[in-house]
Amino acid sequence: MLSLAVTSIIGTIVPQNGNPAAYKQQYGEVFYNLFNRLGIFDMYHCWWFQVMLIMLTLNITVCSIQRLSKTWKIIFPTQLSFNRSRFQKRANREEFQNQGALEQLRKEYESFLNQQIGHSIVERTKKGFCVFAEKMRWTRLGVYFVHLSVILLLLGGLIGSLFGFNGSVNIAEGEAADAIWVRNSHEKRQLPFTIRCDDFDVSFYDTGAPREFRSTLTLLENGEPVLTENIIVNDPLRYKGINMFQASYGQLPPEAPKIDPDMEVSLNLLSRESGMQYQRKTKIGQVVELPEGKGKFVIKEFQPSLEFGNMKLGETFIGLLTPSQGEETKVILPVKYARFDTMRKGAIVISITNDAEDFHAGHDHTVRYYTGLQVNSDPGVWVVYAGFLIMIIGCYITFFMSHQQVCIEVIKSGKNNRVFISGITNKNKLSMQNKIKKLAQSLKHVSKQEEL
Amino acid sequence: MNSSLLLSIVTFVYCLAAFLYIAAWVFKKKELAVAATWVTIAALIGNVAGMGMRWHESYQIGDGSYGHAPLSNLYESLVFFAATIALIYLVVEYRYKNRTLGAFVMPIAFLCMAYASFGTMNKIQPLIPALKSNWLIAHVITCFFGYAAFAISFGVSLIFLFKDRFQDKNKDTGRSFLPSVALLEELTHQMVTFGFLFLTIGIITGAVWANSAWGSYWTWDPKETWSLITWFVYASLLHARFARGWGGQRIAYLSIIGFMAVLFTYFGVNYLPGLHSYGSV
Ligand code: HEM
């Protein structure tokens, strides 16, 4: 009955193992596209995925416990015992003959197995004796280590998704941030400290590919700097369980040039009526009387790079014209395009006669960067790492170490002794066979020495 | 002499080795097989030397700023893949004292090198910041040892199926030169377990690296997902064998499916967007 139950459980293993893979493959691609378009792809928090992980965890746990409770007694017997008839059926059984007193042989073989395998026990039979030894019984636990590690990984992932967070923040050089944007959501999350980006540097190879991004970060607590460190890709900063990674960078739009408000602006005024040109000097905010009694004009503001429709006008003044009769109109005066104002079809065409360079004064030419940091905290990561370690060790034990049992049986037949040696292993029968062959060789050797 | 030239020559040496192994198998000539072994050893030495030279060359350009272990793009990984296949194969050949397997394994190494030499860009490129990590080296080496073991198990499974199918009929052809069915099964298993261990370590080192570079050990990047799928395929194989006692044909088919997953993880994934850099052909 139990075996039936076990086989039905085993029946679920293969689809169990196949399904998550197929799921991930199918949903993975679809969601990946979604992620690209909508940025909402978050496999870890997908409900069906979590359910599947929990099912998987339960399955392994139940299976392993069931198995383990059955095999525990085999693995840790209270008393070492063995079944002679099992060894007699082995295909790897080797036989040879020798002479000698049984008692003498027993002593020799016992110490031989003690030396070669492990602690040996002797059983007397009707016509002789058996010596039995085994080693690495515990390696049968390897599988459970592997399964435990799988559970740890899932558990660690769960802890991470419940108690951790993951987000990003862009900080301009010289500025600071104390909150981050949580990934795939529009929430902000407060950090227990403030990150200030003191400096950002990017270096390039001669091919133009980026070589290194480096941010100098200072962490501040209650306004007091506590730590200053450089971070680069692959070398994050960790503080109070929160990790800061160099993830990206970017350029800030150049700062608006501050022109001197008292700067002199030269205007050229062309009267359509008379065809006369007039020169005037003015300043921002200073009212100019237009010639021929055409009204008043004042420059309101300066735009370092104005876009008009899809034209880039560059340095541009914006003014307000108050004609002697009629409504006020806005006047756009790009420094580079002197004829721009003709389009307005006004009575006076206004243009700026300064050079564009005159207004570069105060323009900050150095490029400013911002650093893109990924900031996260994952309390589950150590559980996951423990899982990794146990998985590697467990796989190694499961695959490459085996429980080995060896039995030497001696049967007295007439003057001679028939000696049998055979071994049982739970894995790697071939190497056991070779081992038995080798043991048989050295056994012959052992007894020959004694004969001389 | 530069590394590209040397590695191109190595490609032909692998071709010769594959050819000799196949000839030895078809004509049942032991001498040819012995020659094939030596040619393979020569190819492996050339292969490793070529990688060493490339490593050295990477420090000669760009004022040394390009310097990195030759494991960072498709070309370099294929070259390394060929070397791991040859190395593991030679160990197997030595341990199991059978030289026919080469007829099925060496062509894979040759194809790798041929693809590397003629199908990919082999210019030495500088490393982007994300790849500058010692984990890269651990990750790539373990993954490729895993892949190479799977490649061999794939070859062995092919022989197994081939032999299984034709064994009873026309007994006295070249096939009898092949190793016994039991040995083939054993070998498949050995290679799968070896590969599985390394794939596991490979995935793990990748995860640890990702955690140090981007702050999360798993991001469902397509390559990661596919390596997990591959891992699941082989885990299923192991369960089928351990828990249900499957053997023979079915395991052989599973190991072939597994290797297909490996190939997809390696090449197919490049057509999907992701972080891994071997995409650039
Ligand atoms: C996600 C990964 C895994 C899952 C979901 C899983 C699941 C299971 C389950 C449910 C069983 C129970 C079978 C039973 O009770 O009869 C089992 C058995 C087994 N698993 Fe796994 N397993 C996983 C990974 C592994 C790995 C990586 C290995 C190999 C190293 C492994 C080796 C085994 C073995 C050998 C058994 C048979 C145990 C025995 O006969 O005592 N498992 N597995």
Say how far apart CA B91 and CA A6 lie, in whole Å: 39
Check residue A361 and give its pLDDT: 53
What local confidence, expressed as pLDDT, does residue A46 receive? Answer: 52
| 8 Å CB contact between A440 and A421 | yes
- Other CB atoms within a 10 A radius of the CB of residue B264 amount to 16
The predicted-structure confidence for A56-75, as pLDDT tens digits, reads as follows 777 778 777 877 777 777 66
Write the CB contacts of A120 (distance below 8 Å, at least 6 apart in sequence): A110, A113, A114, A131, A132, A133
Ligand 1 binding pocket mutation candidate from A7, A10, A58, A60 (most atoms within 8 A of CB): A60
Quick one: pLDDT at residue B64? 61
- Beta-strand (E) ranges in A209-294? 210-221, 224-232, 237-239, 242-251, 265-271, 277-282, 287-289
CA distance B75 to A215: 33
Around Cβ B147, how many Cβ atoms within 10 Å? Answer: 25
pLDDT of A248 higher than 70: yes
Helix residue ranges, H only, A131-234: 142-163
pLDDT digits (tens, 9 = 90+) for B11-34: 889 889 888 888 888 887 778 888
- For residue B179, the model assigns a pLDDT of 72
Quote the minimal CA–CA distance from B209 to chain A in Å: 8
Q: Is A246 left (phi over 0), alpha (psi -120 to 50) or beta?
A: beta
Q: What is the predicted pLDDT for the residue at B198?
A: 94
**DSSP string for residues in chain B:** --HHHHHHHHHHHHHHHHHHHHHHHHHT-HHHHHHHHHHHHHHHHHHHHHHHHHHHHHTTSGGGTT---S-SSHHHHHHHHHHHHHHHHHHHHHHHT--STHHHHHHHHHHHHHHHHHHS-----PPPGGG-SHHHHHHHHHHHHHHHHHHHHHHHHHHHHHHHHHSSSSTTSGGGGSPPHHHHHHHHHHHHHHHHHHHHHHHHHHHHHHHHHTS-S----HHHHHHHHHHHHHHHHHHHHHTT---HHHHHHHHHHHHHHHHHHHTGGGGS--S-GGG--
With beta carbons less than 8 A apart as the criterion, state whether B126 and B45 touch: no
What confidence tier does B146 reach under pLDDT thresholds 50, 70, 90? very high
CB pairs under 8 A between A and B: 118
- Chain A contact present for B186, CB below 8 A: yes
H/E segment holding residue A179? strand A176-182
Name the residue of chain A whose CA is nearest to B127's CA.
A211
Distance A8 CA to ligand 1 centre (A): 14
> Which segments of A243-347 does DSSP mark as H helices, in order?
none
pLDDT digits (tens, 9 = 90+) for A144-195: 888 888 888 888 888 887 888 888 888 887 777 787 877 766 777 888 888 8
For residue B202, pLDDT beyond 90: yes
Ligand 1 atom with the shortest distance to the CA of B200: 27
Mean pLDDT for the stretch of residues A240-251: 79
- Compute the Cα dihedral for A13, A14, A17, A22 and give only its sign: negative
For A424-446, what is each residue's pLDDT tens digit?
777 767 777 777 777 777 777 66
Q: What value does the CA radius of gyration of chain A take, rounded to a whole number of Å?
A: 43
Work out the pLDDT band at B84, boundaries 50, 70, 90: very high
Separation CA A9–CA A443 (nearest Å): 45
* Stronger pLDDT, A128 or A209, i.e. the higher one: A128
Q: What residues does A409 pair with on adjacent strands? A: A130, A420
Task: Round to whole Å and give the CA distance between B73 and B116.
Answer: 10
DSSP 3-state assignment of A86?
A: helix
pLDDT value at B81 more than 60: yes
So what's the pLDDT on residue B87?
Answer: 92
Max avg pLDDT among A12-26, A82-96, A349-363, B229-243: B229-243
Question: Are B218 and A157 an interchain contact pair (Cβ–Cβ within 8 Å)?
Answer: yes
The two tokens of residue B243 are 């828990």
Output the 3-class SS for A332-363.
Answer: EEECCCCCHHHHHCCCEEEEECCCHHHHHCCC
What's residue B195's pLDDT? 93
Domain architecture of chain A: domains with CATH: 1-45 (no CATH), 80-136+402-451 (3.30.310), 165-253+367-377 (no CATH), 265-357 (no CATH)
Lowest mean pLDDT among A176-180, A412-416, B173-177: B173-177
Contact A21 B233 (CB under 8 A): yes
Q: Which residue has the higher pLDDT, B4 or A448?
A: B4
Amino acid at residue number A72: W
**More confident: B143 or A306:** B143
Residue B197 has what pLDDT?
Answer: 93
Write out chain A residues lying below 8 Å of B225, CB-based.
24-25, 28
Q: What is the mean pLDDT of residues A380-398?
A: 89
CA gap B48, B83 in Å, rounded: 7
Is B244 close to ligand 1, i.e. is its CB under 6 Å away?
Answer: no
pLDDT of residue A171: 83
Predicted confidence at residue A180, as pLDDT, reads 82
- Across A383-389, average pLDDT: 90
How many angstroms separate the CA atoms of A30 and B276, rounded?
19
Sequence-distant (6+) residues with CB within 8 A of A308 are A332, A334
